[in-house]
């Protein structure tokens, strides 16, 4: 066992240094920056497009000159209490120039969703879509003006607003934290575990894997590669954690305390930090990291086992595609479980071995029970051991047969030939 472990550690150190001690590893570390940059660029473009489209929409009210100010005041009052965004109100004075309602609705330069005309007690509303929110808003606007005039002048209400400071974290925020954990684990697993296939493809192309197979047991090669890539993954995560902490400290030191207290941004930051997962930040982050390691071992072992069956780089890429699609399906399943934590779908996702790490990480954000995670870790450890056992057999059969088949449960022709050659060499030495 000791020589086996030594061989495994040698292979792990070799693969770790082969990836880290290269100039391209810096690009690999900075890959999230390019992803975030592209995402921000796309988001800014979509936001500008939405803003331009939103600004082009309007609703029109054609009313008497005496009703213009009342309509604008009612519009300002109603908009403050409506969460949904309402198109801009264009109030026009009734007259010959604004007599044709259909002409106003079809004017070029902006989208007109509804037009109100006639007396406010019985208005005529022309709307683009039947029973639209724009038409109902104009009807509510006219009704508010009529009711205010009928009631006469009333004293303005003076409401007192108080902050709910001890209400805890809302369910929606915790579900958002759960979805964030699912997304981060999925993205890191797919980004980092996929590198095992690239390394295996390179070593199969230049015959390095055959030299390793002749020097050490293939089980040591498999586990060493998996351990080496796990070390690269931990280094990747540690780098970005340090960068995030350093960026946070720099941002805090550059902020003006007076400006923060004046603008109220300090209170908003404190509220955001108070949005805690159900199990608390230390337990949530720690258990999330453990679930990520288990997910990486599952997917990395599958990539190595299946990738060894291919004989060329193209075949390795084709074989890794179904695994990637399957993992995307697990991400969709776990995301649905994060949005409905008490449903049967969530329980299935938490039990199914390949979605269990992601779904249980999401559960740590919405459920304060901690003992269930010990049971989940034991369940996932069993499946990690089973997948590694099967993947080692696949890896051995694929390497010894040159990637020509999936016969891992019995000796392949290449294995038998290698055994016969070894026996002949032993007889010759004797």
Across 281-300, average pLDDT: 92
User: What is the pLDDT at residue 220?
Assistant: 87
Distance CA 37, CA 32 (A): 8
pLDDT at 408 over 80: no
Q: How confident is the model at residue 65 (pLDDT cuts 50, 70, 90)?
A: confident
Query: Quick one: what percent of the chain has pLDDT higher than 70?
Result: 80
Beta carbons within 10 angstroms of residue 11's beta carbon: 22
All structural domains of the chain with their residue ranges: 58-151, 171-429
Tokens read off for 123: 């208005």
User: What is the pLDDT at residue 278?
Assistant: 85
User: What is the pLDDT at residue 360?
Assistant: 93
Angle value at C-alpha 375, between 374 and 381, nearest 5 degrees: 90
User: What is the pLDDT at residue 380?
Assistant: 95
Q: How confident is the model at residue 288 (pLDDT cuts 50, 70, 90)?
A: very high
pLDDT at 293 over 90: yes
Residues 6+ apart with CB under 8 A from 147: none
Which one has a higher pLDDT value, 361 or 49?
Answer: 361
User: What is the pLDDT at residue 410?
Assistant: 41
Judge residue 237's burial from the number of C-beta atoms within 10 Å of its C-beta, 0-12 exposed, 13-18 middle, 19 or more buried: middle
User: What is the pLDDT at residue 256?
Assistant: 59
Which one has a higher pLDDT value, 157 or 325?
Answer: 325
Question: What is the model's pTM?
Answer: 0.70
**200-209, 318-327, 344-353: lowest mean pLDDT where?**
200-209
Which one has a higher pLDDT value, 257 or 95?
Answer: 95
User: What is the pLDDT at residue 418?
Assistant: 45
Tokens read off for 145: 């003006």
Report the CATH architecture of 58-151. Answer: 3-Layer(aba) Sandwich (3.40)
**CB half-sphere exposure, 300, CA atoms < 13 A:** 28
Residue 162 φ then ψ, to 5° = -130, 145
Q: How confident is the model at residue 210 (pLDDT cuts 50, 70, 90)?
A: confident
The CA-atom distances, in angstroms, between 127 and each of 115, 124, 332 are 6, 10, 39
Q: b/e map of 343-365 (b: 16 or more CB within 10 Å)?
A: eeebeebbeebbbbbbbbbbbbb
Across 270-291, average pLDDT: 80
Most confidently modeled range among 76-90, 123-137, 201-215: 123-137
pLDDT at 406 over 50: no
pLDDT at 216 over 50: yes
pLDDT at 320 over 50: yes
* Pairing status of strand 57-63 against strand 124-127: unpaired
User: What is the pLDDT at residue 411?
Assistant: 42
Angle value at C-alpha 204, between 198 and 207, nearest 5 degrees: 140
- pLDDT tens figures, 377-404: 999 999 999 999 998 888 888 777 754 4
pLDDT at 290 over 90: yes
Q: How confident is the model at residue 376 (pLDDT cuts 50, 70, 90)?
A: very high
pLDDT at 263 over 60: no
User: What is the pLDDT at residue 163?
Assistant: 58
The answer to whether 170 and 176 are in contact (CB under 8 A) is no
pLDDT at 166 over 50: no
Q: How confident is the model at residue 415 (pLDDT cuts 50, 70, 90)?
A: very low
Distance CA 312, CA 201 (A): 7
Most confidently modeled range among 136-140, 320-324, 366-370, 378-382: 378-382
- pLDDT tens figures, 73-90: 889 888 887 867 788 899
Which one has a higher pLDDT value, 218 or 123?
Answer: 123
Q: How confident is the model at residue 25 (pLDDT cuts 50, 70, 90)?
A: confident
């Amino acid at each position: 066992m000791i020589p086996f472990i030594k061989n495994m550690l040698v292979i792990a150190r070799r693969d770790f240094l082969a990836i880290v001690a290269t100039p391209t590893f810096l690009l690999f570390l900075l890959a999230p920056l390019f992803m975030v940059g592209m995402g921000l660029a796309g988001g800014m473009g979509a936001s500008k497009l939405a803003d331009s489209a939103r600004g082009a929409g309007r609703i029109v009210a054609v009313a008497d000159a005496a009703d213009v100010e009342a309509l604008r005041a009612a519009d300002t009052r109603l908009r403050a209490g409506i969460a949904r965004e309402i198109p801009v109100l264009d109030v026009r004075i009734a007259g010959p120039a604004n007599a044709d309602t259909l002409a106003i609705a079809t004017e070029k330069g902006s989208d007109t969703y509804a037009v109100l005309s006639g007396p406010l007690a019985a208005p005529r509303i022309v709307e683009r879509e039947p029973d639209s929110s724009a038409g109902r808003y104009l009807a509510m606007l006219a009704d508010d003006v009529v009711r205010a005039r009928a009631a006469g002048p009333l004293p303005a209400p003076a409401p007192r607003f108080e902050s709910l400071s001890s209400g805890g974290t809302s369910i929606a925020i915790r579900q958002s934290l759960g979805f964030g954990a699912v997304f981060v684990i999925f993205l890191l697993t797919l980004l980092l575990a996929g590198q095992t296939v690239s390394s295996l493809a390179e070593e199969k192309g230049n015959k390095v894997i055959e030299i390793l197979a002749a020097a050490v047991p293939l089980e040591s090669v498999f586990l060493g590669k998996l351990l080496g890539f796990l070390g690269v993954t931990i280094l990747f995560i540690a780098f970005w954690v340090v960068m995030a902490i350093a960026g946070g400290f720099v941002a805090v030191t550059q902020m003006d305390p007076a400006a923060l207290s004046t603008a109220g941004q300090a209170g908003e930051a404190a509220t955001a930090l108070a949005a805690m997962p159900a199990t608390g930040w230390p337990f949530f982050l720690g258990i999330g990291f453990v679930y990520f390691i288990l997910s990486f071992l599952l997917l990395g072992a599958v990539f190595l086992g299946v990738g060894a069956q291919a004989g060329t780089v193209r075949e390795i890429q084709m074989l890794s595609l179904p695994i990637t699609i399957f993992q995307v399906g697990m991400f969709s399943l776990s995301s649905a479980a994060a949005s409905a934590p008490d449903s049967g779908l969530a329980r299935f996702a938490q039990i199914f071995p390949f979605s269990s790490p992601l779904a249980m990480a999401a559960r740590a954000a919405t459920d304060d029970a901690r003992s269930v995670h010990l049971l989940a870790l034991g369940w996932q450890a069993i499946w990690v051991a089973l997948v590694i056992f099967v993947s080692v057999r696949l890896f051995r059969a694929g390497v010894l047969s040159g990637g020509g088949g999936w016969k891992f449960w019995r000796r392949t022709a290449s294995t038998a030939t290698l055994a016969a050659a070894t026996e002949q060499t032993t007889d010759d030495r004797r």
